[in-house]
């Protein structure tokens, strides 16, 4: 919010009185001084002019957005000599008393240090008495969410049926902690964060009034560091002025005060990081650390750079924003052209992990070094879409020579079936049955009918039985006259298996075959056949150039399984 100079305070400070901090010296005195809260100001002005003032207000917002200031302005609106009114004379006695905190009918209460029900009862002892000095009694309760449950209950009746000349104004940073029963009796206003542009204008105006030289980039840096809070920024501005005695507020002074890396050095480090040059990256990181930069702030700056470049890549028009410095605009656009969105997103996520780990470590710099090495290792890795294009480019040359319709998958998240594990490469792949329903025996080619065809035909309707046939049967002879099989003992007896197989074949093929389970065979079970074929497909796939390119791009990756595509 925009603060105008308090002339009375300025005259007093010409003497030897204590210094008054900027946040108090330039506190808004009228609604015209408030910045960044246009909706709030307009609503309150309209309510005042139309004589529709509510008896209770809740002002919610982060620190430094003007909650207490707005509450005092409302108190002035209600109690000024010509009030209720949106404007008043500079020498208005009522407003002066409110500014100095000596107005009898404007009572400010800090709920953070007075949380109990007895405190509220004491505060409201005189609520039923008429105002003594002004037009209204105004109760301003700051940090109202800190009140106890019993204290809130003590408020309810008074809030629901307040005396005629009483107004309540509650300020809070955590509105969700206020009971709904209280909120429902109040008008709520959410004070938004103040934009960096508005804060920059405020701080520039104050520096000019204080006759302090400054760099525009330094003021914008303070505005950004304030994170939407006017008071936080004014505290930083006070500190920057103190550091710049005899000189001017420069970007170097502000960066040093905030513990932030020089933005140019941050961009240089990020560019080196994303290029994968670990040696140069570590050298630059150590230089910054030895210069005195906080390791956590270095990573924080890298996160900010990554965030800005990602936004510039997705919203190119952002480069025209007035909040961007020339460095951010030129270097940001340059890196946005070079880097891919997937790489930027991956780097941002990894940097977040680095800063979380560094906060918990006894030696944060070591964690930052190790974390940035990980980022540098992964940063130049091509995106999945690039790998696919690479594979397609190589595959086009070999497209005329397809290799038995095979499809490979690796253990990388983007290319692997989540249900696949390393052990899956040794298990039989589920096969699609060749026949899903009953088929007349006359349509079968008995000369070429195999044990595998038979089992796969049963799989759809007799999955449990076909599973046993795959792992517990070695075929000796298979023909239209009958089946001679070797049964490897399982949960079923020979008689049970023989009966179940006979019925399944009859329902599926419309024919009863003679079945013997006393055969002797050295043939593979179907499960062994599937495992052998899977290994053969895997070996064959590893010889494909496009698969080799993907494995080279992802060091440590391996092919887990190659599925056969049914024609």
CA 170 to chain centre: 31
Q: Tell me, what's the pLDDT at 554?
A: 79
Query: 37-190 and 263-378 share one CATH topology?
Result: no
Q: Is the pLDDT of residue 436 over 70?
A: no
> Whole-angstrom Cα distance, residue 453 to residue 505?
12
DSSP-derived pairing of the beta strands 473-478 and 137-142: unpaired
CATH class of 417-567: alpha beta
Q: Which residues, other chains included, contact 487 with Cβ-Cβ below 8 Å and sequence gap of 6+?
A: 472, 473, 494, 497, 517
Model confidence at 510: pLDDT above 80: no
Residue 242 has a pLDDT of 87
* 37-190 CATH fold: Rossmann fold (3.40.50)
Question: What are 327's two structure tokens?
Answer: 């460095």
**Can you tell me whether residue 449 is helix, strand or coil?**
coil
- Choices 3.10.129.10, 3.40.250.10, 1.20.272.10, 2.30.110.10: CATH for 263-378: 1.20.272.10
CA–CA separation, 507 and 424 (whole Å): 32
Long-range Cβ contact pairs of 115-121 (< 8 A, separation 24 or more):
115/146, 115/147, 115/148, 115/151, 116/148, 116/150, 116/151, 117/148, 117/150, 117/151, 117/153, 117/154, 119/151, 120/147, 120/151, 120/154, 120/155, 121/154
CA-to-CA distance for 282 and 373, rounded, in angstroms? 8
Rounded to whole angstroms, the Cα distance separating 236 from 258 reads 9
- pLDDT confidence of residue 567: 52
Q: How far apart are CA 87 and CA 31, in angstroms?
A: 8
pLDDT (0 to 100) of residue 373: 93
Backbone angles phi, psi at 166, to 5 degrees: -125, 135
Characterize the bridge pairing of strands 187-190 and 166-172. Answer: unpaired
Q: Which residues pair with 514 in a beta bridge?
A: 482
The whole-number average pLDDT for the span 272-283 is 91
For residue 249, the cross-strand partners are 214
In tens, the pLDDT along 378-424 reads 887 766 666 666 665 544 433 333 333 344 444 444 333 433 333 33
Q: What integer is the mean pLDDT of 58-64?
A: 91
The pLDDT assigned to 259 comes to: 65
- Which pair of structure tokens corresponds to residue 224? 């950004």
Cα-Cα-Cα-Cα torsion 454, 457, 460, 462, nearest 10 degrees, comes to -30
Residue 155 has pLDDT above 70, yes or no: yes
CA–CA distance, 202 with 213 (Å, rounded to integer): 15
Q: Would you say 98 and 133 are in contact if contact means Cβ atoms under 8 Å apart?
A: no
| pLDDT of 508 strictly over 90 | no
Asked whether the whole model's pTM tops 0.75, one would answer no
Q: What is the pLDDT of residue 399?
A: 37
| pLDDT per residue as tens digits for the range 283-308 | 999 998 888 888 998 999 899 999 99
pLDDT, position 424:
36
Q: At what angle do helices 278-291 and 263-275 cross, to 10 degrees?
A: 160
Domain boundary assignment for the chain: 37-190, 263-378, 417-567
432 vs 322 pLDDT, higher one? 322
Give the per-residue pLDDT at 321. Answer: 78
Q: Where are the alpha helices (DSSP H) in 111-215?
A: 117-123, 149-160, 180-183, 196-209
What is residue 518's DSSP assignment?
B
d(CA 198, CA 40): 16
| Residue bearing tokens 């946005």 | 336
pLDDT computed for residue 397 by the predictor = 39
What share of the chain has pLDDT > 70, as a percent? 84
Q: Hey, what's the torsion of the CAs at 366, 369, 371, 377, to 10 degrees?
A: -150
CB half-sphere exposure, 292, CA atoms < 13 A: 7
Report the range of poorest mean pLDDT among 18-27, 213-222, 394-403, 552-561: 394-403
Indicate the DSSP class of residue 145.
G
Cis before 84 (ω within 30) = yes
The predicted-structure confidence for 110-120, as pLDDT tens digits, reads as follows 888 888 888 88
Instruction: Give the pLDDT mean for 522-542.
Output: 87
Task: Name the average pLDDT for the chain.
Answer: 81
In tens, the pLDDT along 305-336 reads 999 999 998 988 887 877 777 778 888 888 98
Helix (H) or strand (E) holding 248: strand 248-249
Helix, strand, or coil (residue 141)? strand
Nearest to 483 by CA among 456, 505, 507: 505
118, with CB counted inside 10 A (0-12, 13-18, 19+), is: exposed
Interatomic CA distance for residues 237 and 231, integer angstroms: 10
Q: For residue 13, is pLDDT > 60?
A: no
pLDDT: which is higher, 429 or 486:
486
CA 67 to chain centre: 28
200-236 per-position pLDDT tens digit: 999 999 999 888 888 888 898 898 888 889 999 999 9
Task: State percent of the chain over pLDDT 90.
Answer: 22
CA distance 382 to 340: 9
The confidence score (pLDDT) of residue 375 equals: 92
Instruction: Determine what percent of the chain falls in helix, strand and coil, rounding each to the nearest 5.
Output: 55, 10, 35
- Would you call 478 helix, strand, or coil by DSSP? strand
pLDDT, tens digit, 9 for 90 and up, residues 440-499: 443 445 456 788 888 888 888 888 888 888 888 888 888 777 888 888 877 778 788 888
Indicate whether 550 pLDDT > 90. no
Task: Say which residue the tokens 């517990």 belong to.
Answer: 472
What pLDDT does 261 receive?
Answer: 59
């Amino acid at each position: 919010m925009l603060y105008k100079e308090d002339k009375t305070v300025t005259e007093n400070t010409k003497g030897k009185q204590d210094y008054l901090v900027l946040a108090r010296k330039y506190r808004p005195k009228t609604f015209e001084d408030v910045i960044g809260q246009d909706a709030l100001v307009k609503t309150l002005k309209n309510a005042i002019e139309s004589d529709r003032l509510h008896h209770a207000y809740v002002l919610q917002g982060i620190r430094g957005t003007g909650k207490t200031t707005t509450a005092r302005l409302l108190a002035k609106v209600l109690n000024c000599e010509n009030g209720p009114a949106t404007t008043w004379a500079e020498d208005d006695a009522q407003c002066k008393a409110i500014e100095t905190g000596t107005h009898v009918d404007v009572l400010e209460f800090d709920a953070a240090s007075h949380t109990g029900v007895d405190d509220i009862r004491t505060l409201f002892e005189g609520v039923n008495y008429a105002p003594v000095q002004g037009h209204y009694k105004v109760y301003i309760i700051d940090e109202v969410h800190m009140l106890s449950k019993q204290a809130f209950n003590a408020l309810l009746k008074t809030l629901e049926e307040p005396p005629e000349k009483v107004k309540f104004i509650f300020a809070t940073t955590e509105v969700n902690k206020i009971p709904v029963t209280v909120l429902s009796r109040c008008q709520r206003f959410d004070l938004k964060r103040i934009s960096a542009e508005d804060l920059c204008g405020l701080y520039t105006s104050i520096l000019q009034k204080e006759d302090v030289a400054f760099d525009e980039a330094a003021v914008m840096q303070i505005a950004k560091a304030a994170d939407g809070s006017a008071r936080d920024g004014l505290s930083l501005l006070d500190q920057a002025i103190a550091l710049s005695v005899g000189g001017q507020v420069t970007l170097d002074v502000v960066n040093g005060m905030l513990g932030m890396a020089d933005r140019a050095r941050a961009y240089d480090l990020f560019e080196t990081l994303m290029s994968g040059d670990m040696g140069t990256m570590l050298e630059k990181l150590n230089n910054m650390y030895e210069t005195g930069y906080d390791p956590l702030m270095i990573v924080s700056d890298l996160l900010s750079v990554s965030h800005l470049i990602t936004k510039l890549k997705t919203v190119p028009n952002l480069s025209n924003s007035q909040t961007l410095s020339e460095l951010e605009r030129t270097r940001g656009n340059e890196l946005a052209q070079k880097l891919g969105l997937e790489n930027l997103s991956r780097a941002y996520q990894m940097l977040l992990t680095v800063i979380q780990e560094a906060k918990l470590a006894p030696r944060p710099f070591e964690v930052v070094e190790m974390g940035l090495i990980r980022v540098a290792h992964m940063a130049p890795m091509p995106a999945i879409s690039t790998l696919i294009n690479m594979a397609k480019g190589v595959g086009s040359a070999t497209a005329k020579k397809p290799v038995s319709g095979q499809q490979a998958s690796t253990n990388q998240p983007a290319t692997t079936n989540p249900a696949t594990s390393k052990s899956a490469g040794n298990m039989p792949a589920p096969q699609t049955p060749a026949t899903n329903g009953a088929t007349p025996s006359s349509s079968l080619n008995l000369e070429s009918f195999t044990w595998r065809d038979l089992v796969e035909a049963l799989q759809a309707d007799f999955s449990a039985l076909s599973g046993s046939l795959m792992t517990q049967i070695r075929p000796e002879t298979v023909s239209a006259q009958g089946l001679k099989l070797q049964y490897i003992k399982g949960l079923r007896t020979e008689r049970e298996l023989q009966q179940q197989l006979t019925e399944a074949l009859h329902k599926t093929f419309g024919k009863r075959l003679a079945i013997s389970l006393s055969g002797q065979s050295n043939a593979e079970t179907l499960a062994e056949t599937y495992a052998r074929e899977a290994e053969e497909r895997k070996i064959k796939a590893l010889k494909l150039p496009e698969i080799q390119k993907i494995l080279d791009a992802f060091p440590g990756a391996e092919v887990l399984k190659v599925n056969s595509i049914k024609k």
